[in-house]
Amino acid sequence: ADVFQSREEDDRKVRRREKNRVAAQRSRKKQTQKADKLHEEYESLEQENTSLKREIGKLTDEMKHLSEVLKDHEKICPLLHCTMNFVTIPRPDALASCLPR
């Protein structure tokens, strides 16, 4: 009876060890998948960040250009030189001379 009981315990240990090995394998696989997913997400965010920085650069350049254009226009704009502009309605001919043709 003693031999039978020890064999049964051995079988249980082997089964437990196997179950534990499979669980550890599954856990490692899950961790690897999680790390892979995080890496992909990181790469994607890096690309988006680069793209947004590029867009900021373009928009900053455009803003500088438009500020220069506005500054140049202000020098010659009859509407901006008239002190009465805030009180009276600007004349259509003065407005037409400011608009691009």
Which pLDDT tens digit goes with each residue over 6-40?
Answer: 888 889 999 999 999 999 999 999 999 999 999 99
pTM across the whole model: 0.55
pLDDT for residue 95: 56
Q: Is residue 91 part of a domain?
A: no
Q: Is residue 94 part of a domain?
A: no
Domain count, the chain: 1
Q: Is residue 95 part of a domain?
A: no
Q: Is residue 41 part of a domain?
A: yes
Which pLDDT tens digit goes with each residue over 32-88?
Answer: 999 999 999 999 999 999 999 999 999 999 999 999 999 998 888 877 665 544 545
Q: Is residue 67 part of a domain?
A: yes
pLDDT for residue 21: 97
**Helix H segments across 1-101?**
2-76, 78-81, 92-98
Exposure string over 25-42, b if 16+ CB within 10 A, otherwise e:
eeeeeeeeeeeeeeeeee
pLDDT for residue 93: 60
Domain interval for residue 37: 1-80
Phi-psi domain of 98 (left: phi exceeds 0; alpha: psi -120 through 50; beta: other): alpha
Check whether 3 has a pLDDT greater than 90.
no
Separation of alpha carbons 23 and 29, rounded Å: 10
Q: Is residue 85 part of a domain?
A: no
3-state SS class at 87: coil
Q: What are phi and psi of 88, to 5 degrees?
A: -105, 165
